[in-house]
Homo-oligomer: A and B are copies of this chain.
Amino acid sequence: MNLYAQMTPEELQITLRQLKEEHRGYVAKGLSLNMARGKPSAQQLDLSMPLLDAASAASDLHALDGTDCRNYGVMDGIPEAKELMAQIMDDVPERVCVFGNSSLNIMYDLITHGMLYGFLGNAPWKDAGTVKWICPVPGYDRHFAILEQMGIQMIPVPLNPDGPDMDQVEQLAADPAVKGIWCVPQYSNPSGITYSPEVVARLAAMGAADDFRIFWDNAYCVHHLSEESAQSVHVADIAEACAQAGHPHRYFKFASTSKITFPGAGIAAVAASCEAIAQIKKRVGIQTVGYDKINQLRHVRFLKDLEGVKDHMAKHAAIMKPKFDLVERKLSQGLGANLAPDAQGDQVLGLAGWTRPQGGYFVSFDGMPHTASRTVALAKEAGVVMTGAGATWPYKQDPLDSNIRIAPSLPPLEELDQALDVFVCCVKIAAIEALLEQ
């Protein structure tokens, strides 16, 4: 399958020289391109500018319940913001808290909560000896960084096209020291897969510690790339699954408007069982007098409801889809057929596989073993910043050094086109170098 692997060393050297010549050309251009982070483009941000006028000097800033959103109070979110976020999260307002601008911060605070106070009568994790966590890979580097900072031991398990390898997850969760699992259940970061209903049911039903928690970071729940996927892709509700399985407190659901409106100025929410929400409110009521209610009001007035969100997300999709299409086209043209499980194609260079997501912000790219770091370094030399190799694994240690997260959202199409040319060239150089070293 790998055409390079069938070449002689001499043929490889000739090809390598040509590729290095090409690479030098990119370096000489002094490019400054970025495919590193899942940042919306300026064009996407422009979609939400009317949000800012939804709370102007001339506006009435009272919430529906009469709260003056300018003043202190209402620590868990104004009612209409809870309603909006509940709709986005498949939940009910009573089980939702709307906090500040960062769902990551809510997750961080909840893991801190587990460490210092414990959940619903269970001992604080700081007193529980070693605490372990299940980390589907490839996964989200910021999730892993939280656990690493807190000294929680991360155990990678493979993320399959239908979700984490549940045989391994069930086996691990039986250990009472295992207290949680990271899940980005729809359009997973970075592979773009969505958990199947069976996986959701097994996560909810499996044996696990009483204070085992599924951190359900549904960051891309409305982030479809096409009308077709908007119609067909929707992960099963973990709350309902956990309730049905008799583990009603096992999950925390997270969502935010960071990639709906403004990443720097959105609103974020958590949903959980009523008992868990009560405990969260008790802690957060000590932590702060309240979050930015004017911004909550802005969001409700601008987005209105789930239908409003869907209409708005279709505008994002119209900007994002051509970028993902371009990634697919450039990788296919440059590297031959996609080796990912669901890929199809005839022409084969066979160096790599990558995902073709229907939503979310990323393409997960797998090169030949021992080439990811080199590829990213070569790209950087040529002015193209990628997410660091290894970032998709706990402790940044990708044992195969093969996975790279591609984030095509930020650059305009013409820049993305150029960045992908550079990337393809670097993938090829790293592959040949790896073959020559064998």
Residues of A within 8 A of B (CB): 37, 39-40, 42, 45, 48-53, 55-57, 59, 68-74, 100-102, 104-105, 108-109, 112, 115-117, 126, 142, 145-146, 149-150, 258, 262-265, 283, 286-295
- Chain B residue nearest to A115 in the complex (CB): B116
Determine if A287 and B104 form an interchain contact, defined as CB atoms under 8 angstroms apart. yes
Within the complex, the shortest CB–CB distance from A307 to chain B, in Å, comes to 22
Closest 4 CB pairs of A and B: A265-B294, A72-B263, A105-B288, A49-B57
Within the complex, the shortest CB–CB distance from A188 to chain B, in Å, comes to 18
Within the complex, the shortest CB–CB distance from A251 to chain B, in Å, comes to 21
Residues of B within 8 A of A37 (CB): 72
Residues of B within 8 A of A258 (CB): 72
Q: How many copies does the complex hold?
A: 2
Determine if A105 and B287 form an interchain contact, defined as CB atoms under 8 angstroms apart. yes
Give which listed residue, B69, B73, B116, B265, contacts A112 with CB less than 8 A.
Answer: B116
Residues of B within 8 A of A292 (CB): 100-101, 264-265, 292, 295
Q: Report how far A112 CA is from B283 CA in the complex, Å.
A: 12
Q: Report how far A42 CA is from B66 CA in the complex, Å.
A: 13
- Chain B residue nearest to A55 in the complex (CB): B52
Give which listed residue, B48, B57, B116, B265, contacts A150 with CB less than 8 A.
Answer: B116
Give which listed residue, B56, B68, B102, B286, contacts A56 with CB less than 8 A.
Answer: B56
Residues of B within 8 A of A142 (CB): 286, 289
Determine if B72 and A45 form an interchain contact, defined as CB atoms under 8 angstroms apart. no
